[in-house]
Amino acid sequence: MKKIGHTILRLDVVPSTNTLLMESEEYLQNHGLVAIARHQTAGRGRLGRSWQSRPDSQLQFSAVLHPGIPREQAPLFSLAAGLAVAEALERALALRPTLKWPNDVYLGSRKVCGILTELSAGPAGEPRLVVGIGINCRGAPDDFPPEVREVLTTLAHETGRPVDMEAVFGEVLERLQAGFDRLNAGDRAGVLADWSARAPMGGLPLKYPTADGPRHGKALGLSDEGYLLIETAEGARHVHVSGEIEWV
Ligand code: BTN
């Protein structure tokens, strides 16, 4: 199997690197293809949100992955992508990132990276994933719009130094490959354990969305599938599959 990043499409301005790959059957068939853009005019976030792009200040890229495991386990790759970014920031910049389920990367109490994983079934129903990663690198939180300035951060702000974005990009691709190889080799437990070690959440109170509105509970950890296990206010165990959680 080819390495992730065997081909890198370097683009100037695109609506969204995820959309670019998701809309092209040719790209989707090419495991390991990566598209990176200097700027996105219609960057997309999880749960239908938009992703704010600032030219030349963020690493914004997407990779096509053909997971060699059953389709039901595809969510694990989404977790592995968050873990890959956390590991890369630690290796390249000696930072201590933490993870928020499913794959936000935090530095202290502020988010530095968001990940959007999308699934497209191939001709024989085989899963093809597009993993889109956005990392805030240059500038300061004050460069963001007022409504998100308090909750985001950048690598430059956290390290107090200029950031070599190419070095971070290379490190993320390498760790992404490592996580991909581990999952394909069946080391699901190891990936979940490494993810959990970077997610200080055991017992923390949270709010989670349900069809009947937000509910309160406590984070218990991850299920074997990479879903979030929550203890409900009534003491039951709930498996949370999708939807933004909020620490309270
Ligand atoms: C989130 O935090 O909600 C996920 C944000 C994902 C942003 C990245 S930037 C590269 C790729 N292209 C997109 O349109 N989105 C992802």
40 lines ligand 1 (CB under 6 A): yes
Residue pLDDT tens, the chain, 248 long: 899 999 999 999 999 999 999 999 999 999 999 999 999 999 999 999 999 999 999 999 999 999 987 777 888 999 999 999 999 999 999 999 999 999 999 999 999 999 999 999 999 999 999 999 999 999 999 999 999 999 999 999 999 999 999 999 999 999 999 999 999 999 999 999 999 999 988 889 999 999 999 999 999 999 999 999 999 999 999 999 999 999 99
57 lines ligand 1 (CB under 6 A): no
Which of 11, 16, 51 for a ligand 1 pocket mutation test, highest count of atoms within 8 Å of Cβ? 51
- DSSP letters of the chain? -PPTTSEEEEEEEES-HHHHHHT-HHHHTSTTEEEEEEEESS-B-GGG-B----TTTEEEEEEEE--SS-GGGTHHHHHHHHHHHHHHHHHHH----EEETTTEEEETTEEEEEEEEEEEE-TTS-EEEEEEEEEE-SS-GGGS-TTTTTTB--HHHHHSS---HHHHHHHHHHHHHHHHHHHHTT-HHHHHHHHHHT---TT-EEEE--TTS-EEEEEEEE-TTSPEEEEETTS-EEEE-SS--EE-
pTM of the model: 0.96
